Structure 1
């Protein structure tokens, strides 16, 4: 299943432009990596901090944060620039090519990868290794780039989402509504049961498997060097084969091939499917628009064979060529440390990446509200979650996989043929970048 809502994670153009421009303009060399410039000197100087579509809603938070940092470190000045969501990748590409990349930059892993490969991202494992223990292991690892040694951004905010399920539909199929599926074996078994009992009227799922599903199933997605995709191995073929069984039995909604997060949500709202990912905003919508559904809502963890949920992670990168490395590293750490992340998390529906923060009562103590129910469920899963989406996988590559899955479900290609073709296409695109 897909977690479609990435609260505070803006969807923008992919890093394709970066991947094309940077090898021609940067001087990082074939091995990439920004090295480990010395960050131990005096914290001083003027640096520029760039965020990604945050000024409109969070200007007081960031101006206060900057003022606090400058007071803590006399002799520093932080100039804050905020770029719109539209064209953010292009803006990074232009700055990288022109040598005007800010000192501290808000990035997602897919945008970070080409910058790190071009030698423009500072390797924190060398320059700031002392801070690693302050962050969740999965979040710190989320900014490692296949084929490179090192970690290239401080983890910032995280997001994920639990699954909603309709207890009534499970009960009508003779299943224990208090024991929803947590593994893919359980999911497939119970989905077929629900479809069979309802004579194909009720599907359990409304969307096709994505790369995150392959990851949670335990499929190796790329080789260790980051030079080739591998999700067409036997385990990947097994997953797609089992989804084909669901599709044929109408346990996967027939419209899943063209479904959007919105259409999948509507299917769940009208009780045509039994499970769907979502957020606290959805729960409030159910309460107002579908009280009968709301009364039967269950909240459970993501389906996973690995025991680890999927997380979406945002980061803060330090420009390897900054003239003020100590100040840039100190500020990037300051933005992402536990106190600042907790304060930010209470202003927007995101989660801190710092170790221990998710044990705060804000993420553990029920208060009877829907928002808190979902927040607690998501926070618990994030403690051990990982970012399954390969950082080198572009939107175009995801489309290749999506199309291959559709061909297999429709019987136009076997699961193995479809995944073999998808891997070939993705590896070709990988080489082009």
Structure 2
């Protein structure tokens, strides 16, 4: 149950595990590559028959919760049989891609927006706005929009749960170099200044940062990642270049670890837990993870808001999509809606550190009363952020694009190319992939 599919951005452990999202454009998916047909109209028919429901790394921790929902739905609808399939986090998205290519998508499948996009583009998912008109009114507008296909009408997934994160920092490491541990940086200029102090005063033994930026970070910095109609990437604009230039200064000073330049680097979370780096974007789940697996860090961990030039934090979305090839579409749609209704999402939120996507749910006192605990404080802070949070990662963004950005940023950090040229080359590559 990854709370953030972009594991290089949210590199700490998710609810069950963290996986790296893949882009599936050009990966041999079946179906038409034309625009989806939005004229199919509402799905009608009895809620009956058998369907398969696939989730992502929920067993064994949430077995009782999922089985309880299945049992409740089957009691409401005689003749329905739901087979639950839970896939491990490792290789999950590759498995979905392979099933899609073979025409074997489960009736209801857990996919993040960036995977729903190429599936929907190939007409492999139902347009929920067409198949079940009016459903979108039940969900927060930003979460419903996350499953939209740019340039087309409709949405291709029921938002299931949301997450965002505070930023964690290590108070002990701040104090060691004379930084104010009770007043962490609140903007990028302050973060750069603190990072440079930490690197200099520790003789480059302690770095502030453990990762180069991913595309969502450019959005947080205030870059226009794409043009208005979603047809071209534009993050090589001056603000994007300014952002990379800042990272270059940090890298040169030893404030960004050299390992961060390695493609698909996944060790930054471990370095933060081992108190070797001092600043870590995370999720509401992570504090409990620190408490259990890194108690010495937990005793020194500070919690602060996400730094953003837009005033809006990152929203991470997971959802349920319905296969266009399902033989029991009415049942699949009804079950996906049931799993993601306000009551079931609220119950899930109280089992683990996720947040409901349904309208009105965030007004529950659970999200405003911290109970005097650190975990409660993180929950309340994250819930507040979600009121205006944005999914900065375009659904068109693919794994190939991530790789291109990582490679060019590494070259820019090492002085092999300029920040401007690195972004120009990345945008050119990404726009070529987008057009292809």
User: With structure 2 as the length reference, what TM-score do the two structures score?
Assistant: 0.85
Structure 1 unmatched ranges of 5 or more = none
Tell me how far 1:116 sits from its aligned partner: 0.5
Q: Deviations over 1:107-152 (max 9, x none)?
A: 1122211210011222223333423232222221211233433211
Normalized per residue, which structure has more helix? 1
Q: 1:125 to 1:407 in 2, by over 3 A?
A: same
SS across alignment from 1:216? helix
Match for residue 107 of structure 1?
A: 111
- Tell me, in whole angstroms, the C-alpha distance in 2 between the residues paired with 1:86 and 1:270: 24
Q: CA RMSD in A?
A: 3.1
1:179-328 equivalences under 5 Å are 179-195=183-199, 202-258=206-262, 263-269=267-273, 271-278=275-282, 279-284=286-291, 288=295, 290=296, 294-328=298-332
C-alpha separation in 2, matches of 1:128 and 1:138? 19
Matches within 5 A, 1:265-414: 265-269=269-273, 271-278=275-282, 279-284=286-291, 288=295, 290=296, 294-414=298-418
Shift in CA distance, 15/247, structure 1 to aligned 2, threshold 3 Å: closer
Deviations 1:198-227 (A, max 9, x none): 665553323222212111112122334444
Closer, same or farther: CA 55–412 of 1 in aligned 2, 3 Å: same
221-230 or 132-141, larger mean C-alpha shift = 221-230
Q: Give the aligned partner of residue 26 of structure 1.
A: 31
What is the CA–CA distance in structure 2 between the aligned matches of 1:219 and 1:63, rounded to whole Å? 43
CA distance in 2, matches of 1:387, 1:81: 28
Q: Could you tell me how far apart the structure 2 residues matched to 1:311 and 1:212 are?
A: 10
Indicate conservation of the 8 Å contact 2:17/2:57, yes or no. Answer: no
**1:12-91 superposed matches below 5 A:** 14-16=22-24, 19-22=26-29, 25-27=30-32, 30-32=34-36, 35=39, 37-39=41-43, 42-91=46-95
Structure 2 unaligned regions, length at least 5? 1-7
Q: Choose 51-60 or 239-248, whichever is displaced more.
A: 51-60
Residue 121 (structure 2) pairs with residue 117 (structure 1): yes
Aligned to 2:169: 165
Counterpart position of 2:3: none
Q: Structure 1, residues 286-335: CA drift from partner, whole Å, max 9, x if none?
A: 863x2xx5454320121111122223211111223434433322211101
Separation in 1, partners of 2:200, 2:22: 41
Residues 1:33 and 1:104: Cα distance change in structure 2 (over 3 Å): farther
SS at structure 2 position matched to 1:181: coil
Taking the aligned partners of 1:195 and 1:10, their CA distance within structure 2 comes to 29
Bigger shift: 268-277 or 157-166?
A: 268-277
| Secondary structure of the corresponding residue to residue 81 of structure 1 | strand
Shift of residue 80, structure 1, vs aligned partner = 2.9
Q: 3-state SS of the aligned residue for 1:51? A: strand
- Judged with a 3 Å threshold, the aligned counterparts in structure 2 of structure 1 residues 322 and 403 are, in CA distance, closer, same or farther, namely same
1:224-273 CA-partner distances (Å, limit 9, x unpaired): 44443222122111110121122233333454434987643454456554
Distance of 1:272 and 1:83 partners within structure 2: 33
